Amino acid sequence: MLYSMTGFGRAEAQINNRQVVVEMKSLNGKQFDVVTKLPPILRAYELDIRNILLTNLMRGTIDLTVNVKQEGASKPMTVNTDLAVYYYNSMKQIASQLELNEDNVLSTLMRMPEVVSMEQDMLPEQDWEVVKKAIEEAATALMAHRKNEGEALHKDLHSRITGIETLLEQIAPLESARAEKVRTRINNSMNELIGKDKVDQNRFEQEMIFYLERMDFSEEKTRLKQHCTYFHETVEKEGIMKGKVLGFILQEVGREINTLGAKANDAAIQQIVINMKDELEKAKEQILNIL
């Protein structure tokens, strides 16, 4: 079973007169990266939250939002009265010196830095346990979403690798004709250049054997088949995080396909190699979505 790296999870909880809403989504990412949007009362637990996400989600770019509301409204604000008085006295003095109107002084005060702020109390430990459970539930929902997405990726990847294996089988019937074409082409070229009577046939046969051995790609075909088999086996293995391993296997698949193309020296086989590369690139695109 494969898991996608994209998913969404949501959970809610109730703490006395507070409502907690947890939402998280995940996107592709080579490592584990978290962006959190937390209310001030949860800032002290941010490290704990990150550890929960790392344990449950393992990899990807995670966007987490936790809203804590009280009686259907956001947490009440606090007003720093002493700071407001200080600002007021200063502004009143300036207004008096410059003979300015003081009608809008209240609205100006409320916009001054740190005069108005959200309440900064810390969530009690017993209440944090409720929030923690909600975060874990949202993470579980996200993983379920990832699993559903992974089922489609599972089928597509098997299809791509099977396509490469099918194309590989199409090369075998072309190999004997390929060797004969090369022999004929080189022989004709030699006859045109130095004349048929001057060609040492024994030496020619020796050189042809050497040349054809260099063109032989039976080892590459065997390794390519083995890599494809290993890919299928890895997909079916138990475990969740397989994306990186599958990516490494596809690198080896690509290396053997490239060598086949370099040694092909035949238009029909080259066409098959191109189709293999097309299947491989589509598989690589999908691997980027695998956890």
Q: Are 161 and 283 in contact (CB under 8 A)?
A: yes
* Inside any domain, residue 179: yes
Instruction: Kindly state whether residue 2 falls inside one of the protein's structural domains.
Output: no
Both 198 and 209 in one domain: the answer is yes
On whether both 106 and 185 belong to a single domain, the answer is no
* Confidence bin at 88 (pLDDT 50/70/90): confident
CATH of residue 128: 3.30.230
Query: In this structure, are 195 and 259 located in the same domain?
Result: yes
What's the domain range around 60? Answer: 7-75+124-145
Question: Does some domain include residue 270?
Answer: yes
220, 112: one domain: no
Please report how the helices 267-287 and 125-169 are oriented relative to each other, as an axis angle in degrees rounded to 10.
Answer: 170
pLDDT of residue 86: 75
pLDDT in tens, 10-51: 999 988 888 899 999 999 888 899 999 988 888 889 999 999
User: Do residue 153 and residue 96 come from a single domain?
Assistant: no
Q: Is there a domain that residue 62 lies in?
A: yes
Q: How far apart are CA 234 and CA 245, in angstroms?
A: 8
Residue 282, judged by CB atoms within 10 A of its CB (0-12, 13-18, 19+), counts as: middle
Residues 84 and 198 in one domain: no
Q: How many domains does the chain have?
A: 3
pTM (two decimals): 0.69
pLDDT of 174-206, one tens digit each?
Answer: 877 776 666 666 666 666 666 556 655 666 666
Q: What percent of the chain has pLDDT over 70?
A: 74
Tell me, yes or no, whether 89 and 174 share the same domain. no
Do 84 and 51 lie in a common domain?
no
**Do 234 and 279 belong together in one domain?**
yes
106 and 30 in one domain?
A: no
